[in-house]
């Protein structure tokens, strides 16, 4: 009752302000309607986010041929998030094709997963930083005659430390672009036809997950090349999702903030920084949903704190706002200064 009276009082005041000016009145009513509509969208999106994190069941991987002897191909599979994807997909019962640079690490993972889960694990060691056509042919050969239904584009590279674009070495620039974009696209081009064929022949769906980043969600000064490469993957992945939808291949970009890994150089977990096991678990449980990426098609920000952070940035601050870019710049500048001081001290020792 009190709420109804308050609302009616608001309407009376609103109409009094309008007076007899029909143009101003129309504009104010339009602003009110649009504001209510926007708030409704925000509340519904937040409700969807909370439902994904709390009550919705985990994704069923029978959709991707789990009960039909299917294989998952994972790049960057020897460490961190890539290795954890391998472990957790093996736990679910998928056979694996693992691609990474270091043969000894791949062989160790191959033995571990075969022994623990009794699955077929095949490996391919190659240096993706070398933009060699033979690399992509080798990936294609690895998939030959196998029921591959999942591709996880996990391989990636960032800057060694935050660095101004004008001071970025040509080699680092080329490595980031080659690994994050060129190799990801060409590997997908080799594997995606297999996913389409196998989805049709097995009567299931295919799945392509590509690792994104908050650096692609918002402009990231002092990580400009890496940020640009991840933003590129955002639009490419969303476009690919539309192209492959009619072929029953699901495509999603996976957005992450910081995760403890060799690339992030972070060792301690926190509420905002999960370990690879926690992050991959949240990803695989929420495939097909958006969670924190409510405003983005074919995109998922799966980990709970990352999801809330993503939602707040987009809904409150604006992903491309000057404020967000400035905050990012100051944070990365501080990291750069500390890294340079540490390097200088190590040089003295």
Q: Identify whether 257 is a catalytic site residue.
A: no
- How far out from the chain centre does Cα 41 lie? 23
**116 contacts 140 by C-beta, under 8 angstroms:** no
Beta strands in 214-285 (DSSP E): 249-254
Beta strands in 65-155 (DSSP E): 71-75, 95-100, 121-125, 148-153
Distance (Å, whole) CA 71 – CA 64: 9
Could you say which of 61, 64, 136, 226 is catalytic? 226
Q: Which residues contact 149 (CB under 8 A, 6 or more apart)?
A: 64, 65, 70, 71, 72, 195, 198, 199, 202, 204, 205, 206, 207
Relative orientation angle of helices 183-202 and 133-143, to the nearest 10 degrees: 20
The answer on whether 48 is annotated among ligand-binding residues is no
Q: Give phi and psi for 315, each to the nearest 5.
A: -80, -30
Beta strands in 95-141 (DSSP E): 95-100, 121-125
Q: Which residues contact 178 (CB under 8 A, 6 or more apart)?
A: 128, 129, 131
Catalytic residue annotation: 226
Binding residue ranges for substrate: 213
């Amino acid at each position: 009752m009190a709420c109804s009276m308050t609302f009616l009082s608001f309407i009376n005041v609103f109409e009094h302000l309008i007076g007899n000016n029909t143009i101003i009145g129309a504009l104010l009513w339009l602003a009110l309607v649009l504001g209510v509509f926007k708030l409704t969208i925000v509340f519904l999106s937040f409700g969807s986010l909370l439902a994904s994190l709390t009550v919705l069941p985990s994704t069923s991987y029978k959709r991707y041929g789990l009960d039909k002897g299917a294989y998952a191909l994972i790049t960057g599979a020897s460490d961190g998030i890539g290795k954890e994807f391998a472990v957790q997909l093996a736990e679910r019962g998928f056979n694996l094709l693992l691609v990474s640079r270091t043969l000894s690490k791949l062989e160790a993972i191959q033995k571990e997963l075969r022994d623990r889960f009794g699955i077929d694990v095949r490996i391919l060691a190659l240096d993706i930083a070398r933009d060699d056509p033979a690399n992509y042919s080798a990936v294609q050969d690895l998939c030959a005659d196998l029921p591959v239904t999942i591709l996880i584009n996990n391989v990636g590279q960032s800057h060694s430390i935050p660095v101004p674009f004008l001071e970025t070495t040509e080699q680092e620039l080329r490595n980031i672009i080659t690994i994050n974009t060129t190799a990801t696209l060409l590997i997908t081009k080799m594997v995606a036809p297999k996913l389409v064929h196998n989805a049709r022949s097995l009567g299931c769906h295919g799945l392509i997950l590509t690792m994104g980043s908050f650096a692609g969600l918002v402009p990231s000064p002092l990580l400009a090349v890496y940020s640009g490469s991840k933003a590129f993957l955002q639009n490419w992945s969303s476009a690919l999702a539309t192209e492959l939808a009619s072929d029953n291949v699901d495509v999603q970009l996976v957005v992450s903030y910081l995760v403890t890994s060799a690339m992030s150089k972070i060792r301690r977990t926190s509420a905002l920084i999960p370990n690879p096991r926690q992050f991959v678990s949240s990803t695989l449980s929420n495939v097909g949903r958006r969670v924190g990426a409510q405003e983005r098609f074919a995109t998922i920000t799966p980990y709970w704190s990352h999801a809330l952070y993503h939602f707040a940035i987009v809904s409150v601050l604006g992903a491309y706002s000057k404020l967000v870019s400035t905050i990012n710049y100051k944070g990365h500048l501080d990291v750069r200064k500390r890294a340079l001081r540490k390097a200088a001290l190590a040089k003295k020792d």
